[in-house]
Chain A
Amino acid sequence: MSEILFIGLSLSSILLLIALGLSITYGAMGVINMAHGELVMIGAYTAVLSGIYLNLNLFFALPLAFVVSALVGLGLEKLVIRRLYGRIIDTLLATWGVAIILQQLIRLEFGLSFFGIHIEGLGPGLQNMDVPAFLTQPFEIAGIPIQPYRSFIIVVTLLLTLLTWFLMYRTSIGTQVRAIMRNPQIAAACGIDVRRVSAFTFAYGSGLAGIAGVLLAGFKTVMPDMGASTVVDGFLVVVVGGVGSLLGTVLASALLGQINGVFAILTNDILARAVVFGVVIAIILWRPRGLFAFKSR
């Protein structure tokens, strides 16, 4: 029983890891960032490359990937997103294009492959990140087997969630972000530097994607299109939770992760996936704005 719960919990934490960044960029900024998965991918490649060239392990790769993905996100915000605020579907379409571009850039090694230059760690192939041995060796506490890597992911996700909650609801910048999310014009008229705060927010959400990338690289293949499949799951979580509600995102990932885990154990993984999609549809039909949505008059 505890094992099933643990599997559900680790599924939940991975969903949350991806959804957290989306919940910021989508929930707070109204940007459906289809390139979020590619920011995850960039985080994963950061871990791979920092392992190859800088000999850094996972723990140093985490902050580094945050910075790299945040910078890419910042660039994306300045070049593309900035012109699209308030046009939610357009953000989806444009970032879809961006996703294709980012994937292809990694595959073509930033275009260097045209000139026959090869960068180890990039290219179309499969890459991997080394995980420190103590994170792959399971151990027991009081007879309960502990999987260190999964537990590590759960802890990091928890910390990131708390940090994000604190930033959004307990700091002045969080208030500014939420004000902009409701009405950028009035926010500006109240002295909030909309451009800067938006850029910051987007970079932060992107940085979270980078961290997710590193953690995913610990148990998944690193490859150019690794992120594409994650982003849809992330959106389902954010939407089911209620756009703009951090609590909703957390609970939705917990719910969907557990459902997935329980059904996977009791029946099989395929059916579990199907059930998760079914539940998503049912929840949206039942609560057309997600589980935790703000109701205006």
Chain B
Amino acid sequence: AGEIEVGVLFSQTGGLSIVEKSLADATLMAIDEINATGGVNGMMIKPIVEDGASDPKTYNEKASKLVIRDRVPTVFGSYTSASRKAVLPVFEKRNSMYFYPTYYEGFECSKNVVYTGAVPNQQLSNFIPWIINTLGKKKFFIVGSNYIYPREMAKVSKILIEQNGGEYVADEYLELGHSEWGAMVSKIKDSGCDVVLSNVVGDSVVAFYREFKNQGLTHDVLPICATVTSEIEIAAMGADFAVGSYTSFPYFQAIDTPENKAFIERYRAFVGDPKAVTHHALESSYFQVFLWKQAVEKAGEATPDAIREGIKGQTFDAPNGKVTVDPDNLHTYLTPRIAQWGADGQGTIVEAYPEPVRPMPYVAYGETPDNLFCTAQGLDSSKL
């Protein structure tokens, strides 16, 4: 018997708590479920929950508390890249494992982080060809919040657009968290594009879609195809404003499997909100705990090094389907899907990959499945 302590580090306060609280809840729910079925190797998981307070400084401090003082072998946590970057030195230099559930821009290869969210190739490699070939839209206006993820997504998109015979009209950025879209939407209107690729994040998304409609643009003529707009933002903006637009993610609440339905039920019961929505990062927050459990069980002990070895190649039947941790780069195989949003605030899956896609965090730098930059020994810089 006994206990294994793990860290759960999300923002409980501040602006990011909007999303991060749900990630924390999903993590805690997974822990509850594991404990209810006998724990890990007969040991109960004891979560130590800390508040990142939506501030990288706090994130850094709490991470070092968890790793150095509480000596947890693993921390599940964080949503933004900025907070992940702030905690990274702690995990790398103090050798502990970090499980990161969010889709992100790639370009990371750390032996101390397990990434269970999508990387650009898992969101874009089917999306762009589908837009061009199936939707028949060719002229892209790429818009995003001004930080790394949207800029990297734009970079990958441009390559894919070119490869598939489309053209891109412009890429423009708005300050993160800003919600004045008047000028931008007017530019989109005048640009002559026929599709908008949106990498806008956070609450700016809502203002964007609303302004889009207010200026008389409609998704049947000029659809927004998004990489970040999830069930949360759709619910927040009012589904009307998004009807007909598209998003690419490996997970949607609308995935029509008994496993997912049950998952949603359990989650709603867990947070006590019958209307609670689930989304990609939330689902990853959930299943990554199970991957971790399997890794500990395989390794037989819960030290960081054992977990790192144990996690390689782990597979789990997640609500979105089969997920597997790539033994080479500790990122996760996920199944890209595209959904079109309906008036009920749910997506209809209009396209899905037949099987999970290999994660390639360096795809924008020319990484291909045959030529992986990230290896089990870390980044192979000679390939850059």
Contact = CB atoms under 8 A, between A and B. Distances in A.
Interface of A: 3, 7, 10-11, 14, 104, 107, 116, 118, 120, 124-128, 130, 136-138, 145, 147-150, 218-221, 223, 225-226, 229, 260-261, 264-265, 268-270, 272-273
Contacts of B238: 128, 130
Contacts of B146: 270
6 contacts: A126-B233, A138-B214, A219-B210, A223-B15, A261-B182, A270-B146
A138 B215 contact: yes
Contacts of A124: 17-18, 21
Contacts of B207: 219-221
Nearest to B210: A219
In the A-B complex, the 10 residue pairs with the closest CB atoms: A126-B236, A264-B183, A138-B216, A221-B203, A221-B206, A7-B182, A219-B210, A220-B179, A225-B15, A124-B17
A118 B187 contact: no
Interface string B135-152: 000000000001000000
Nearest to B236: A126
B86 interface: no
Interface in B168-206: 172-175, 177-180, 182-184, 186-187, 203, 206
Contacts of A127: 236
Given A125-B236, A138-B214, A221-B206, A118 B186 contact: no
Contact of B236 (A107, A116, A128, A219): A128
Given A124-B21, A221-B179, A3 B214 contact: no
Given A3-B186, A220-B203, A265-B186, A270 B21 contact: no
A151 to B, nearest CB: 10
Interface in B228-273: 232-233, 235-238, 272-273
A226 B180 contact: no
B183 A269 contact: yes
A125 B182 contact: no
B322 interface: no
Given A107-B13, A126-B206, A128-B237, 5 more contacts: A7-B183, A118-B272, A124-B17, A138-B214, A264-B182
B198 to A, nearest CB: 15
Contact of A118 (B178, B210, B273): B273
Contacts of A7: 182-183, 186
Interface string B68-112: 000000000000000000000000000000000000000000000
B206 A261 contact: no
B14 interface: yes
B144 to A, nearest CB: 11
Contact of B211 (A120, A130, A219, A264): A219
B215 A11 contact: no
Interface in B8-49: 13-15, 17-18, 21
A3 B215 CA distance: 11
B17 A107 contact: yes
User: Interface centre among B21, B178, B186, by most A CB within 10 Å?
Assistant: B186
B18 A11 contact: no
Contacts of A128: 206, 236-238
B273 to A, nearest CB: 6
A223 B187 contact: no
Contact of B179 (A116, A125, A219): A219
B170 to A, nearest CB: 10
A268 B173 contact: yes
A218 B180 CA distance: 12
Nearest to B15: A225
B242 to A, nearest CB: 12
A146 B174 CA distance: 24
Contact of A149 (B172, B183, B214, B235): B214
A241 B211 CA distance: 29
Nearest to B211: A219
Interface in B319-346: none
Nearest to A116: B272
B383 interface: no
Contacts of A138: 214-216
A159 to B, nearest CB: 21
Contacts of B214: 136, 138, 147-150, 219
A125 B187 contact: no
B116 to A, nearest CB: 23
A209 to B, nearest CB: 17
